[in-house]
Chain A
Amino acid sequence: MNLDFSALNGYWSYFVDGAWLTLRLSVLGVLFGTFFGVLLALVRLSRIWVLKFLAVTYIEIIRGTPMLVQILIIYYALPTVGINLPAFVAGVVALTINSAAYMAEVFRAGIQAIDKGQTEAARSLGMSRGMTMRLIVLPQAFRNMLPAIGNELIVIIKDSSLISVVGLAELLYNARTIQGVTFRSFEPLLVAGGIYFIMTFTLSRLLILLERRMGQR
């Protein structure tokens, strides 16, 4: 096997564009996923059993079915019932519903790990439930959850490659396009893999730094 990366000359901008789209997909997926994940976790921990049941059902279904199937449903099946989402939006939606389900479990575990005494102290000082959650429990839970959140961010970046099946020109899709035009099978995929790795590795290093800084306080 002779690797010849010069065969890719002239196509490098495709990698850059693809990586940029991957990054945008991932960031949006993470942001929305975290937001809805926190909501889901709070609903799951609430005392209203109907909501709790719905949250658990959602989490179990999303976690228990392949994301590829979900993406295909969102992009190819929903239009038949009149819901037409552009490829990018479909991608963000797929990443969001997934990361929300996983994040919800991360947050739930993180919240439950905080000592009950913290809540009791806050409530005994007159704080409401919401205030206690926002000011006392979540900030502490967040610190403990950083490693798990980091894992989830890395998974989202990698899973965004699945969105290539709907023809969205993200990193993997572009790599395969370049495969087609250059007739090189290895090089485009190696470059794409390398770029994914750079993104996830940078992220995991940043998270270690963040953990260390939060740990110091």
Chain B
Amino acid sequence: MIEIQELRKSFGKNEVLKGISSTISKGEVVAVIGPSGSGKSTFLRCLNRLEEPTGGTIRFEGRDVTGAQKDLNSIRQKMGMVFQHFNLFPHMSVLDNLTVSPRKVKGLGKEEAEKIALELLRTVGLEDKRDARPDSLSGGQKQRIAIARALAMQPDVMLFDEPTSALDPEMVGEVLDVMKKLAQQGMTMIIVTHEMGFAREVADRLIFMDGGYIVEEGNPREVFAAPQHERTREFLSKVL
């Protein structure tokens, strides 16, 4: 579903991604871990071109992401993204946060968009917040709304950029539960995370990045139990 070849990204003289290649299949849940500065967020952000790659190619459902110009917005519709800091639209109600893009971008009618939105709010357990303003929600609630907002576009893949890193510890669980449910429903997911327990339990594949490279990847249980590379061992011994 997503084929990444020799992906490179530099910020000025600083090369953050030094040639990343990977293929993500439909329905796969991939967890990306690694020390800060390893390039894992940049990698994720290159996939929907929030960062402009400086080299390599990305193909998504057969379409060239890296070369896309006009096509980019329609590609992005199919790639939902969840951010560390939620980025809900504070000037809109929760319901409008979920319906604005389906209506304005996809041209859905108000009723249809709201129907989808309400169903998603039910899935994330926040039906009663439909008319609330984002500012009145807790961090965990905001992130669940943000997930629902991305899902409202009915994407084929969901990108998660450290979705629980800005949350108070007691709210991490509720967000991970929603993500777990999503994974069980067969959603293709790429998750940059520091939640090792979650990665082990939910991910089909673990990617360990360091210094702009994929150092090691494989079944999370195997990687956690017996890391092949020195750097992976070192990192895991610090975080586990």
Contacts and interface: CB of A to CB of B under 8 A. Distances in A.
Interface residues of A, number: 19
Interface string A134-145: 011001100100
Given A126-B74, A127-B73, A136 B89 contact: yes
Contacts of B85: 117
Contact of B48 (A124, A140, A217): A124
A125 B106 CA distance: 10
A126 to B, nearest CB: 4
Contacts of A123: 50, 76
Contacts of B81: 120-121, 124
B63 to A, nearest CB: 14
Given A120-B87, A124-B50, A124-B79, A217 B101 contact: no
Given A124-B76, A124-B81, A125-B101, A140 B50 contact: no
B150 interface: yes
Given A125-B77, A126-B153, A117 B101 contact: no
A125 B50 contact: no
Contacts, number: 61
Contacts of A143: 91
A131 B91 contact: no
B81 to A, nearest CB: 4
Contacts of A118: 87, 89
A176 B27 CA distance: 80
Contacts of A4: none
B188 to A, nearest CB: 16
B83 interface: yes
Contacts of B83: 117, 120-121
B68 to A, nearest CB: 12
A128 B77 CA distance: 11
B37 interface: no
Contacts of B238: none
A125 B87 contact: no
Nearest to B85: A117
Interface string A187-217: 0000000000000000000000000000001
Contact of B90 (A120, A126, A127, A140): A140
Contacts of B79: 124
B205 interface: no
Contacts of B149: 125
B89 A126 contact: no
Interface of A: 115, 117-118, 120-128, 131, 135-136, 139-140, 143, 217
> Which 9 residue pairs spanning A and B have beta carbons closest together?
A126-B77, A121-B87, A125-B101, A117-B87, A124-B81, A126-B105, A126-B76, A126-B73, A139-B91
